Amino acid sequence: MAHLFNRNVVLGVCGGIAAYKAAFLVRELQARGADVRVIMTRGAEAFITPLTLQALSTHPVHRDLLDEEAERGMGHIELARWADLLLIAPATADCLARLAAGRADDLLTTVALATAAPVLVAPAMNQQMWADAATAANMATLEARGIHRVGPADGDQACGEVGTGRMSEPAAIAERAAGLFEHGALAGLRVVITAGPTREALDPVRYLSNHSSGKMGFALAAACADAGARTTLVSGPVTLETPPHVARTDVESAREMLEASLALLPACDIFIACAAVADYRPEHAADDKIKKSEERLSLTLVRNPDIVATVAAADPRPFTVGFAAETRDLLAYARGKLERKGLDLVVANDVSAEGIGFNSDDNAVTLLWAGGEAPLPRSGKGSLARLIVQHIAERYSASRAGL
């Protein structure tokens, strides 16, 4: 079954007896990983209730062109931008005619004009209406503009006639929709990524931390989502926006990050430990602000739990990727970390090098695994993340094949 992981589908439902199949189509799309939002025409409401499709899609059903409850009252633009695919099923003869004419007098046709996403129509109508020259001309016009079509199918029709005009079955429509997209190297896999620094409290206003910005981890999350993975970020305190199609859990301390990571392990195929976790924390955090009363202040530090080693030792364990941020003897330290912690892959980077340390937009790394290594030259963290994800996918596949 082809997938729609990390895809946003706007489903347009027109007025026809086949509108009842929209409920099953929502489920088929969701089963393939899509997030679905529904637009209903006024005619569609005569055949199926908005409440049904709202309950199934878990989103409010959109019906009005100028929606006062939508941001700035421009709901059609928001939906058009949100969509990775506009799917119209059933697409009636009237809908095809209005699309061909470039009409924009209701929400569905306006979104069709305003979206840059591909459009797929599933025609459904009486067999003679489908055979009519006007419908054929309208469909030819739409296909010439790049609009995709699935069906219609042959068979018995609600009107009692037999012929071509039945809406294709929901499973076939969902499969056709999925086929419009390229499928990434991590399609359907579940990835958890830790990112950013941790903060270890000294007192209610002070903490120990480091200079990590989280940029590399967030770039990896975006690359994993683009590769089709169901991606979750466990992030320390950063000022970055969550990438599209990525779930996010925010934490502060190393112990909170470990707890959040372990909670996600049962639904994790690949774990990428990119966070700059504090190795130590104060043995005791003061309940009140520490006052400046002495020339010297002594702190007793204790070791934090080793998150990536804990994950790598889990049973069952995910494919586990660690990061080694070093200032000297980079490859020796990284290879030691790979072996000592039982990791599948280590990404080693020299944080002392100018322009590729913490907070920078560029990076250069070397990937190490048992029996091999691959240096990746300096590039922007987004580009580098995509290369790293390609290697992770290759090593993951090799590990599952026993190579």
Active site residues per annotation? 159
What span, in angstroms and rounded, lies between the C-alpha atoms of 276 and 258?
13
- Residue 61's closest CA among 43, 81, 36, 39? 39
CA distance 331 to 348: 7
Query: CA–CA separation, 356 vs 368, rounded Å?
Result: 19
* 3-state SS assignment for residue 204: coil
Determine the distance from the C-alpha atom of residue 246 to the mean position of all C-alpha atoms in its chain, rounded to a whole number: 4
Whole-angstrom distance, CA of residue 332 vs CA of residue 83: 47
Residues making up the chain, counted from first to last: 403
Q: What are 238's two structure tokens?
A: 């950063």
The CB density around residue 248, as the number of other CB atoms within 10 Å, is: 17
Structural tokens at position 23: 């409920």
Q: CB–CB of 7/88 below 8 Å?
A: no
Sheet of 246-250, strands arranged across: 246-250, 230-235, 190-195, 270-273, 319-326, 345-350, 362-369, 372-380
Q: How far is residue 110's CA from residue 235's CA, in Å, rounded to a whole number?
A: 39
Rounded to an integer, what distance in angstroms lies between the CA atom of residue 202 and that of residue 222? 33
Are 239 and 218 in contact, with CB atoms under 8 Å apart?
no
What DSSP string describes 297-342?
----EEEPP-HHHHHHT-SS--EEEEEEEESSSHHHHHHHHHHHTT
Task: Please name every residue paired with 195 in a beta bridge, in sequence order, or none if there are none.
Answer: 235
